[in-house]
Chain A
């Protein structure tokens, strides 16, 4: 069975491995200088687990059901369970290896940036060990959806949708709570606090005071809040009453900012006074995961996705046993 399992995934594994190696050669040849390659590497490492899950996982059982070859494979001396175990192991490990290789390339590229204390968490999803967990999860998900839907093409689409949803949900809801974040209270600095809004366009929050990012090398800052002594957040009403002129069609960058367009000195002074008035009762609270949490978070996320992959694989075994 080991031979058949490898024979059936040999061609696809070789093709994808060759493609990833070609990207690796291009990356090494450019010596980390070509930012276009860096961008493509990151995209590759992010999308590879989902694509492998969809295009390798979904047809694994569904393709056999569609072509009828399961009638050949499942009537030999090897049980369905063994057949599935071998196929899951061989193709699943190949998917994990490819994802690991892509991830290793991103990690290699990011090495100097990490040492400079830049945004290590910014590429958390596409480097080190978590992509291997994503690949295992996406693959098992693909196999299960294929076995449930009994048709490869709908299963491919469903895998991409469900995997993306699961990843996003985990990224937004679960990862920040995997380890209780640290908080850091510090006074509001009138010379580095600006006014405006930030965020995705469709979900633009109303303009508010924007303290500059604190100096926490390689940390993952999950939120920056402005609160008073009792823990109450600064409301837009309070802000408006403390600084009635704020945001009235005039620029409001941080007082010490070095933007391309320097606001008139009067605006800068007004902003500084405003923040100073607020700072009398309010301070800044930064919620973050320090750089030292990077590896614990990587391991925990890997563990969660690998455990989910094993559960999905068990569901595949149950489903395949029930077919017929």
Chain B
């Protein structure tokens, strides 16, 4: 049976000047799942995701994206001078499959004022705008880099809810890759887990299977912590 992967990386490495952010990393991200990419700060999560969406080029190895991706970068960058409505207009101009109705509905649901300049939005609102821009492109793969990292608990909760709803609404098994250093964020949303530490994959698999295989682990958090302890040794 052929394996359906959204992302395939082989012997992937990325060096910034002298430091390797990612070294000899081989991994696959299965399609049709919500995949959590977890690891401590500096583990190479951002590097891996930016390599995947083509913002970075590998120093060694290859990475192949088998799906058309929508990307929300760390910190959810938007154009401070442009209004929310301008951003939707921009998304339409830059996308081959823009869903304007979906975009406007999401803006309304998130309670964003279309005339508001993006520079004056709160962190949570900005993340919602960035997610809208990515989702309205109707991607087959949604790549989110630490989208909830700087949000207050309520905004984080709303954001993760929005992601879950976007996956449900897409109907046709959109793949989501979602990085975080907080296991709690992933526990609620992810079915598949990839643990990255020191630029290497330490653990990858279905959350259920991973938990079942490790009889010491009571929770995902326990599993991740014990695995990181082992990696540090």
Contact = CB atoms under 8 A, between A and B. Distances in A.
Contact of A72 (B57, B96, B130): B130
Nearest to A75: B71
Interface residue tally of chain A, by bracket? 20 to 34
B81 interface: yes
B86 interface: yes
B93 A4 contact: yes
B173 to A, nearest CB: 21
- Is chain B's binding surface mostly helix, strand, loop or mixed? loop
A75 B77 contact: no
Contacts of A1: 93-94
B55 A7 contact: no
Interface in A1-24: 1-4, 7-8, 11
B55 A72 contact: no
B78 interface: yes
Interface string A280-324: 000000000000000000000000000000000000000000001
Contact of A67 (B56, B80, B86, B91): B80
Given A1-B93, A3-B90, A69 B56 contact: no
Nearest to A2: B93
B160 interface: no
Interface in B47-103: 50, 53-57, 69-71, 73-75, 77-82, 86, 89-91, 93-97
B77 A72 contact: yes
A1 B82 CA distance: 15
B137 interface: yes
Nearest to B81: A11
B127 interface: no
B90 A4 contact: yes
Contact of A77 (B81, B89, B94): B94
A208 B40 CA distance: 78
A69 B79 CA distance: 6
B56 A324 contact: yes
Interface string A238-258: 000000000000000000000
Given A7-B82, A324-B57, A77 B95 contact: yes
Nearest to A73: B94
Interface in A43-86: 67-78
B73 A3 contact: no
A67 B73 CA distance: 12
Contacts, number: 63
Interface string B5-43: 000000000000000000000000000000000000000
B140 to A, nearest CB: 13
Given A76-B94, A324-B55, A71 B77 contact: yes
B94 A4 contact: yes
Contact of A75 (B55, B82, B90, B93): B55
Contacts of B57: 324
B193 interface: no
A146 to B, nearest CB: 17
A69 B129 CA distance: 13
B71 A3 contact: no
B107 interface: no
Contacts of B71: 71, 75
Nearest to B94: A76
Contacts of B90: 3-4, 7
B93 A72 contact: no
29 contacts: A1-B93, A2-B93, A3-B89, A4-B90, A7-B82, A7-B86, A7-B89, A8-B79, A11-B81, A67-B80, A69-B78, A69-B79, A70-B55, A71-B71, A71-B73, A71-B77, A72-B77, A72-B133, A74-B55, A75-B71, A75-B73, A76-B91, A76-B137, A77-B95, A77-B96, A78-B94, A324-B50, A324-B55, A324-B57
Interface of A: 1-4, 7-8, 11, 67-78, 324
- Please name the 6 residue pairs, one residue from A and one from B, whose CB atoms are nearest each other, closest first: A71-B73, A76-B94, A68-B77, A75-B71, A324-B56, A77-B96
Given A2-B93, A70-B55, 20 more contacts: A3-B93, A4-B90, A4-B94, A7-B90, A68-B73, A68-B75, A69-B79, A71-B50, A73-B94, A75-B54, A75-B55, A75-B69, A75-B73, A76-B91, A76-B95, A76-B137, A77-B94, A77-B96, A78-B93, A78-B94
